[in-house]
Structure 1
């Protein structure tokens, strides 16, 4: 029987060979067609014959290199053996051309709103990244012929793995891994094989032997320690080593008008709650459902509150994620960037989670952490650098990007009930979804979603840490100073009212004066704001909050927090 590493490598190499052949064949069909318009609009044909031909030639080179490389020798080994340098020339030229193709395709992303971007450019970008991945794999120590040179941590394997993972994540995040015959399924399978190779080489820190290929594993029932406290709050889970995320809360607002709370409801009882609203004109009101996540592995056997587990599912933090930088998306200076998951943990969650490096400096010996996770400063070498801005992995389809984490959660039964339409504005109702829309929300204390409303019903689930929420009914919309179109972007679902500033919890940002003027023009001053009725509450791990369609909500992370939202209608 072949060793696990060899078998996964064989399958990964075949996967790459098939991709190169398929891309080449698809390009050939387009270039040879008498009527190029006969192809569907999702075909590469929309990119034009010159780019299709260039892509085709690179696919042919990659395919031929894999045919020559059947013995399992790396590109570097070819040089060391002094063989014909044409192999290396073809390799380097193809690598450069693929970067050129990806750059041309990505430049088109700026010419359209993403929803209007012709899919041919997304497919071209994805195909170029897939072929680049195939080339990088040939240069990696993972395909070394000499088994004695593999195992442990092969020389250069870390840098190579960084680039391999980054290449496919860019296709997933920037282009949605579009493609008729490849795309997301191809990328997911390639990462699955690579993850298995990485673990078998001993460079990963996964505990379970089957986790690299466990996308079909059944979800285990999580047992709660008691009726109200999820098991993740108890330090009795030894499957993953290391500490849990800090539960320190720098600031916690008082709850003054509590949201109604109930213990976990059956699907039938939840449907009855929506159908039998106390106020027929308003419809169902927000509801906190305790112990709603009792069957989720994310709170027990595969614990998201342990950094070691999350790192094990992201190639030790190598996966790329998009994060928002800044207190709130309506503040001046707010922005977005792509960073590795490890950088996100180290730079914005807790600098002790990854080893110190030049890229991720930690505080010096005079800067110790107090028992709450805050920093105490002593001596003459006090750190005078300004604090880093808040970073938030917000409203990201993380579970499409990381299918293994998707297996750690379950879609609540509540999302398969029949909710009522919007109570005051039928134009907000959306076409019925085939499946709920899932988004991840992960960040340090102080993350904020400003007061806004959504066009769907929402089940917001809390997995790690705590969050404060304040909600206003759709009937108060005229009193909440909704924004209009700003810089060409429709912002009518977001309020000018900065709850944190108005309540004195936060310092006013630079943009506050403009927002205050706008709110006053809408007839909302400080006294008027305080008179608007609301409900508020704190979500604990294991809780779910039902947010009916149209309800305005402000969300504030109190500690390190990981939430999952489920939109449905």
Structure 2
């Protein structure tokens, strides 16, 4: 489908998606502005359409920045989606493909779904046209190697001074019943590395930096800038996939960029088709209720020692990553940050623990592993875990839990 077909679809469903704005709680006067913007678009009055869309997007943005992101009424995010749709179609119709691509992705990142407006499909088509005109190429200076390093030499660089270190047990792909009995609902609930559970994923044959640039090079994504999110100079920026790779996968780059804890697969379904929810998640919830997040970056990306409110099956798809865990019973020994949004994060740098500032950490029990392509690590709910890539790396986390509990991603909150 091209821009004409998408415009026709939007026109035929116009009354329904405008009515959805009303039912979501968007004030009638704003729906009227949205209607005028769409009418201007259909009449090829692009300056008026663009002006009205900017007003609506700015209005929604102001609502995003009142209070915490989790408290933003979904109606403002749906308004943002609808205004983005009109703006994107106007830019696409005017031939401004790059601007249309950026607009559409911002709507996917910050907006909320509107049933009759598929920004995902529109983004796919725009990217296809854009890639035909301006293919993204991998810079010669990029480190595109997903090499595998010696396990013992990697472990020697972490947790110095901590004596109670145990390598996480590895098992061959167990049955769902066995995993449930011996790991998920066992009395001890320890971590385990499952080998062979991911061998059917197309990702292992298809994924490379070149492939990512082909299917997503012009797509805008949120990137964390800084060594770790606990640092004062840590921030987030929106940039294209190509800009991310060119800037932070360069062997000479002094900054670290990380596409972390982000539902990339919802935004770019072409990549979602290359993975599958592990069947073990179905022991706790429906596959559609599993939170799937991408973790993609160059060597030396870090997730500080922290806990999550959900069980996690952590899949290593490309590259090598060092991971260590500490049981919930040892929480005092890892010195959690007191109060606030980061109370689930430790003050200790597990790469080089400061034993003078945090003497009790030497008594923490550490379970560690080096994750390689095809490994699936079970991280039980409440366990502290630290991760550092020792090569260019792509991982996928699957948070799963009974419907009565929730987990919160911070990506959108940090961007809003």
TM-score (norm 2): 0.85
Give, in angstroms, the shift of residue 243 of structure 1. 9.3
Partner Cα distance (1:406, 1:28) in 2:
31
Structure 1: any 5+ residue segments left out of the alignment?
1-7, 31-38, 66-89, 141-159, 207-241, 351-373, 376-386, 419-430, 505-515
Partner Cα distance (1:198, 1:432) in 2:
37
Counterpart among 275, 287, 306 of residue 192 in structure 2: 287
Distance 1:390 1:248, change over 3 A: farther
Distance 1:243 1:534, change over 3 A: closer
Partner Cα distance (1:310, 1:448) in 2:
22
Show the counterpart of 1:44: 26
Tell whether the 8 Å contact from 2:224 to 2:259 is kept in structure 1 after alignment: yes
Give, in angstroms, the shift of residue 55 of structure 1. 1.6
Partner Cα distance (1:445, 1:194) in 2:
31
Give, in angstroms, the shift of residue 401 of structure 1. 0.4
Determine helix, strand or coil for the equivalent of 1:500: coil
Determine helix, strand or coil for the equivalent of 2:243: helix
Partner Cα distance (1:464, 1:29) in 2:
42
Show the counterpart of 1:406: 272
Partner Cα distance (1:294, 1:133) in 2:
39
Map 1:24-103 to 2 at 5 A: 27=18, 40=23, 42-45=24-27, 49=29, 51-65=30-44, 90-103=45-58
Give, in angstroms, the shift of residue 480 of structure 1. 2.2
Partner Cα distance (1:29, 1:435) in 2:
24
Give, in angstroms, the shift of residue 194 of structure 1. 3.2
Tell whether the 8 Å contact from 1:20 to 1:60 is kept in structure 2 after alignment: no
Determine helix, strand or coil for the equivalent of 1:342: helix
Show the counterpart of 1:119: 74
Partner Cα distance (1:103, 1:139) in 2:
22
Is residue 449 from structure 1 mapped to residue 290 from structure 2 by the alignment? no
Counterpart among 86, 91, 109 of residue 173 in structure 1: 109
Deviations 1:291-314 (Å, cap 9, x if unpaired)? 2210010001x2x2x212111111
Determine helix, strand or coil for the equivalent of 1:559: coil
Distance 1:447 1:247, change over 3 A: same
Show the counterpart of 1:16: 7
Is residue 333 from structure 1 mapped to residue 233 from structure 2 by the alignment? yes
Give, in angstroms, the shift of residue 198 of structure 1. 5.1
Distance 1:432 1:190, change over 3 A: closer
Give, in angstroms, the shift of residue 268 of structure 1. 2.4
Determine helix, strand or coil for the equivalent of 2:304: strand
Q: CA RMSD in A?
A: 2.8
Give, in angstroms, the shift of residue 114 of structure 1. 2.0
Deviations 1:87-115 (Å, cap 9, x if unpaired)? xxx22222122122211211211013222
Partner Cα distance (1:491, 1:289) in 2:
30
Is residue 543 from structure 1 mapped to residue 394 from structure 2 by the alignment? no
Distance 1:28 1:462, change over 3 A: closer
Give, in angstroms, the shift of residue 179 of structure 1. 2.3
Is residue 128 from structure 1 mapped to residue 83 from structure 2 by the alignment? yes
Partner Cα distance (1:29, 1:552) in 2:
43
Map 1:378-393 to 2 at 5 A: 388-393=254-259
Map 1:150-549 to 2 at 5 A: 160-176=96-112, 178-182=113-117, 186-197=118-129, 204=135, 244-247=144-147, 252-254=154-156, 256-274=165-183, 277=186, 280=187, 283-300=188-205, 302=206, 304=207, 306-314=208-216, 317-350=217-250, 388-418=254-284, 435-486=289-340, 490-502=341-353, 525-526=358-359, 528-549=360-381
- Give the total of aligned pairs: 388
Partner Cα distance (1:266, 1:202) in 2:
48
Partner Cα distance (1:167, 1:54) in 2:
19
Determine helix, strand or coil for the equivalent of 1:438: strand
Distance 1:91 1:539, change over 3 A: same
Tell whether the 8 Å contact from 2:49 to 2:86 is kept in structure 1 after alignment: no
Q: Tell which has more relative contact order, 1 or 2 (C-alpha 8 A, sep 6+).
A: 2
Tell whether the 8 Å contact from 1:462 to 1:543 is kept in structure 2 after alignment: yes
Distance 1:23 1:106, change over 3 A: farther
Determine helix, strand or coil for the equivalent of 1:395: strand
Computing the radius of gyration from Cα coordinates, the structure with the larger value is: 1
Structure 2: any 5+ residue segments left out of the alignment?
159-164, 402-416
Deviations 1:281-335 (Å, cap 9, x if unpaired)? xx221101122210010001x2x2x212111111xx1100101111111111111
Deviations 1:169-224 (Å, cap 9, x if unpaired)? 00001224x32532xxx11222233345457x575589xxxxxxxxxxxxxxxxxx
Partner Cα distance (2:59, 2:396) in 1:
35
Q: Write 1 or 2 for the structure with the bigger share of strand.
A: 2
Distance 1:161 1:249, change over 3 A: farther
Partner Cα distance (1:28, 1:320) in 2:
30
TM-score (norm 1): 0.63
Determine helix, strand or coil for the equivalent of 1:122: helix
